[in-house]
Structure formats: structure tokens, C-alpha cells
Amino acid sequence: MVMTQYRRSVLILLPPSEGKCSPDSGSALAPGTLSWPELKKPRATILDALVKISSTSPKRAAGVLGVTATQMPLIAQNARLRSAPAAPAIEVYSGVLYDALNFSALPAAARKRGDARIAIASALWGLLRPGDRIPAYRFSADSRIPGLPPLAKLWSEPVGDAIADSAGVIVDMRSGGYEKLAPVPAECADRAVALRVLQDRGGALSVVSHHNKATKGRITAGLLIDAREPRDVDGVADAFSDLGYRVKHGKPNRAGVATLDVIVTDL
């Protein structure tokens, strides 16, 4: 089973994308089929609250979710989450990282490794496998629904437990907001590494934000195409180097996780 593969394999933690492709057809969401069934309770709590506010108080939902007047169809979309067509998460997420990853174009063996290695962080679902079928939705790490506990309170422990339940090296490519929802637990921090993308501008290194997602997508694709499986942080650094990137060890992050700085000139 794929879940068993997750426990044995490298775990690549990816952020979701704000942009999503809405499936045109297909069966509706079946929450019981999603990976990590232990996340069922917080998923249901958040889904219920999101559907309720979107269907009964759309203007309030728009304010809470940062939706403009021209984006109101996103609120209507949230109201239909239980009945809307669903598709594999790897097809629904459509942002810069996922465009660069181009999962569907990878060789079959690489896609199979992706199914076993990738875990997509989500403010609504907690963690998802690439093949988990979901509808398009609007809900992010900084969303706060009145009456609902802070997302970190709902997700930190159960998602942290799911991450710790893996057995291989953990490559954390999540953005800061999603890392804060569920930091890598201390018990497995020694086998985890966070990726940071720096741009070399004439010898001066600077942190990049939006465009670093494309680099992370390309790195993820490279890790999946390469059949080798890094066993530790140094192995991950070697894998990045083999992909043609300059790599240096950075300072541990706030969770005590080692950091690898990937240095690029072009994003």
C-alpha cells in the first residue's frame, strides 16, 4: 500500500497552490478515501465551517478569505465543496511550483515514486497524496473562520504525528505559513531538512519568494526522476548537487531542522 511506502521512503513536503484548476467532471469528494485517515476529524471540522460560512454568509466569507468582489465565484465554489467534481490533487493544484514540476509529463516510474514520496500540505485537508481526489477550493494557511480554532491548533499535532510516522529523510519544501501550521516534530528533526532558495546576484545572495516555487518544482521533479533515495541530509545535499545546483548548509530553522540553501542565478 502507498501508506506503507510513505513510512519507508523519502517524504517530500510540498505547499499547495493558491491557484487551482476546477475539475469539469468526475465524482464528488469522498472524505473517507483521503490518505491519512487519522486526519478525518480536523478535516471534517474545517470543511463544515468553510461550507457553512460560504453558503450562509457569502459576503462575510469573502472578507474572511480575502476574496474581492470579482472573485465571488470562489465563495460559491466553497459552498459546493461536498458536491463539486473532484480530481487528483496533483491536477487541481496549478501554481508555479506545480507547473514546473509538470507531474503528468514525468516518466511512469517517477510518477510512481511521487505517489509514494510527495505529501502536499493543505489548510483544509492537512496532508494529501498526489492521487487524493479533491475539489477546487479557496482556503489558505492564514485563513481564520470565526468560531473555528486557529488552524495551527487543529493541525499541529495530527499532521506532526503523520510526518513523524515516516521513516525516511524528510525534505520540507513548504512555505512558511504551512510550516507554521505543523512544524516538523522534534523527534524527527534530525532526519529532516528544509529547503531555501537563494539567488546569486553578482556574488550577493538574496532570499527569493514567489519565483523560488519554480525552482522547488524542478528540484522535486529531479528527485523523482532519480531512482536513488537519499538516506540523510548529506544525501539530500548530494542529490541537489547532482541535479546541477550549488548547495550549502544553512542555519537550522526554528523547529531545529537543518537547512539547505540552494543557490541559483536564474529562477
The pLDDT tens digits for 5-17 are: 444 589 999 999 9
What gap in Å lies between CA 8 and CA 51, rounded to an integer? Answer: 36
Residue at 83 is within a domain: no
The pLDDT tens digits for 159-206 are: 999 999 998 999 999 999 999 999 999 999 999 999 999 988 877 787
Residue at 190 is within a domain: yes
Residue at 63 is within a domain: no
Residue at 98 is within a domain: yes
The pLDDT tens digits for 235-245 are: 999 999 999 99
Contact 123, 145 (CB under 8 A): no
Residue at 208 is within a domain: yes
Residue at 145 is within a domain: yes
Q: Write the DSSP string, 54-76.
A: HHH-HHHHHHHHT--GGGTHHHH
Q: How many domains does the chain have?
A: 1
Residue at 70 is within a domain: no
Where does 145-189 show beta strands of DSSP type E? Answer: 170-172
What is the percentage of the chain residues whose pLDDT exceeds 70? 96
Q: Which domain holds residue 140?
A: 2-21+88-264
Q: Which residues contact 190 (CB under 8 A, 6 or more apart)?
A: none
What gap in Å lies between CA 25 and CA 38, rounded to an integer? Answer: 28
Q: pLDDT value at position 8?
A: 55
What's the average model confidence in pLDDT over 116-140? 98
Instruction: Give the model's confidence band at 267: pLDDT under 50 very low, under 70 low, under 90 confident, else very high.
Output: low
Residue at 96 is within a domain: yes
Write down the mean pLDDT value for the chain: 93
What gap in Å lies between CA 131 and CA 145, rounded to an integer? Answer: 28
Label residue 206 left, alpha or beta by phi (over 0 means left) and psi (-120 to 50 means alpha): beta
